[in-house]
Amino acid sequence: MFIQTEATPNPATLKFLPGRAVLETGTLDMPSKDAAAQSPLASRLFDIPNVGGVFFGSDFISVTKSGGEWQQMKPAILGAIMEHFMTGAPLLAAGAETADAAADEFFEAKDADTVATIKDLIETRVRPAVAGDGGDITFKGYKEGVVYLQMQGACSGCPSSTATLQHGIQNLLRHFVPDVVEVRPI
């Protein structure tokens, strides 16, 4: 098994591509060891010194470090990922669920059409680019022209995430949805 690694715009996060599906649907952000209890692989990754976050996408795993150097951490991370996939163990513990993006959204019923357009733009134009950088972005709400988005994985805490939100995503949404005034992280 060959696992590729890619740098992300966030210097504290590396993207690992095992060459096979990681999650069938959705994403799973585990920013702490407690959150990682829902995945045997994530729990094992958190046992590696200085691992501070794990994120599962459709075909990648992003690992965020809390300290240390990638040069020392990378072999242990690669070993844990390889061993997990080679044994055929389940990625998620019984009863664990991936994120249900619609579960905690907020917007007024009168804005449903605007929200549908915003969600479509995020799904088709923004999420693929953000996934390429080892993260994810989800719609959380819309109120009085302000779009609220949640950054996950490599995008959470990334030094360039503010620029991505304010210049990239905000400009895109304003272009296609004139009612959008601003984009904010949540």
The residue that leads in pLDDT, 93 or 38, is 38
Answer yes or no: do 83 and 105 share one domain: no
Q: What is the pLDDT of residues 131-162, one digit of tens each?
A: 888 888 889 999 999 999 988 887 777 767 77
What pLDDT score does 176 carry? Answer: 94
Where a domain ends, among 47, 63, 87?
87
- Domain span at 33: 4-87
Instruction: Quote the pTM value.
Output: 0.79
**Is 68 inside a domain boundary?**
yes
Amino acid at 49: P
Where a domain ends, among 28, 53, 87?
87
* pLDDT surpassing 60 at residue 172: yes
Q: What is the pLDDT of residues 100-126, one digit of tens each?
A: 555 688 999 999 999 999 999 998 988
Answer yes or no: do 36 and 74 share one domain: yes
